[in-house]
Amino acid sequence: MTPARGPLRPLYAQASGSPIRAMLALAGREGMVSLAGGHPDPALLPAEWLRESLLEVAGQLQGRSLQYGATEGLPALREASAALLHQRGLAAQAEDVLITTGSQQAIDLLARVLVEPGEGVAVESFNYPAALQAFRFAGARLVEVPTEAQGMDVEKLEPILQAEGPRVLYVVPNFANPTGAVMPLARRLRLLELAAHYGVTLIEDDPYGELWFGEAPPPPLAQLNQQAGSPAQVAYMISYSKVVAPALRLGVLLAPAGIARGVVLAKQAADVHSGSLEQLTLAAMLTSGRLHSHLDSLRPAYAAKGAVLAEALRMHCGDLLEFDEPLGGMFIWAKLSNALPLLPTQAWVDFGLEHQVLVVPGAAFSISGAAQPWLRLSFANPAAEALRQGAERLGRGLRKLATTA
């Protein structure tokens, strides 16, 4: 007799929760410095701008605003989002964009509508874990594409496409999570060529593209594709979490009409529509025209925090860590020296508790979950002094590991 399965489908029963979420449960402990979460700095979240917009919206509330709304999103927010995409060089009308509950929902809905169980989804070897989870839950077979300092190694992609035949390729070309990598223009163009040739749908996830420090990244794949006359299928997403506030849970999807239709059907089944009060508030924020100046203040603030952490790591971790200066986004991706042992994720949780500094090990972002000689260090959330303290504690802990290895 085969053992009866429990109430959960095996796909969910066997899945592990996010190790990053487990780390974050420890982040609030007295005296802990967390370089683990990719959460914005609370001091940089626009509380006043949001409060003013909320009051404006509250003053105009009527029965109609409290009614069910369109699955595609509130017209005013679709309009403002299309204008934002326009500024990134994308031709988009309000009716082309869909409002989602964070870009996380767009990833999840795309996984559901694009991938049959058993079909392949190509992903970089180090990846945003919740995207991998969404593809796994859709029954996808994850197909690994090597990644390095310039993002997905597109030169190695063609034989993988030929051998594995993935239907979909998920990519974060700007300041990727966890690597911080930016894909150069030539690689973007080659990726589009390959996607068109092999009939692979691209999911381009771009939550960090506006958080550049020195210069803006190359244009989105979706824009390059439009410019070239749309030979490839590209579903492009942005998020309001990092540029406005994660609490709103709002993102934007621009996808070819056929894909968008499937996503709308899936969203009807998932949550009918994203919350109207959040959408009204964000629409009011965007139409106030303040996003531009907000971004102008966010970029140097995060750049300064990235520089503080990089300098402190150089000072305290010396030759035990190797990394590139962050160019944007929220992460430093640091390679551990081979003087250090390869440790499983739980050992880094213990390390965090012992040394009062939380870091996320590379294993959390790898497809196999196997130990990796990498750490993701986020400079976004802690204040500058805590970043310095975190680097100092990390250095002390790593030196202890090196001497006991």
Binder to ligand PMP among 90, 172, 203, 360 (CB under 6 A)? 172
Helices (H) and strands (E) in the chain, counts: 14, 15
Taking CA atoms, 161 is separated from 112, 124, 289, 326, in Å, by 21, 13, 43, 31
At closest approach, how far in Å is the CB of 100 from ligand PMP?
8
Q: Segment near ligand PMP (CB under 6 A), from 5-13, 42-50, 102-110, 291-299?
A: 102-110
210: exposed, middle or buried (Cβ count in 10 Å: 0-12, 13-18, 19+):
buried
Segment 291 to 330, residues that bind ligand PMP, using CB under 6 A: none
Region of residue 199 (phi > 0: left; psi between -120 and 50: alpha; otherwise: beta): left
Binder to ligand PMP among 19, 20, 36, 38 (CB under 6 A)? 38
Binder to ligand PMP among 53, 71, 103, 372 (CB under 6 A)? 103
Task: Tell me if 177 sits within 8 A of 151, measured CB to CB.
Answer: no
The answer to whether residue 205 forms part of the interface with ligand PMP (CB under 6 A) is: yes
The answer to whether residue 102 forms part of the interface with ligand PMP (CB under 6 A) is: yes
Residue 107 or 192: the one with the smaller Cβ distance to ligand PMP is 107
Binder to ligand PMP among 40, 151, 207, 352 (CB under 6 A)? 207
Task: Tell me if 97 sits within 8 A of 81, measured CB to CB.
Answer: yes
At closest approach, how far in Å is the CB of 104 from ligand PMP?
3
Q: Which two tokens stand for residue 324?
A: 């590139």
Residue 246 or 262: the one with the smaller Cβ distance to ligand PMP is 246
At closest approach, how far in Å is the CB of 39 from ligand PMP?
8
Round to whole Å and give the CA distance between 283 and 275: 12
The answer to whether residue 274 forms part of the interface with ligand PMP (CB under 6 A) is: no
Structure letter (DSSP) for residue 175: S
Round to whole Å and give the CA distance between 311 and 198: 44
Size of site (CB under 6 A) for ligand PMP: 13
Round to whole Å and give the CA distance between 19 and 17: 6
Binder to ligand PMP among 81, 133, 225, 239 (CB under 6 A)? 239
Q: Please report, as ranges, the residues that interact with ligand PMP according to CB under 6 A.
A: 38, 102-104, 128, 172, 177, 205, 207, 239, 241, 246, 251
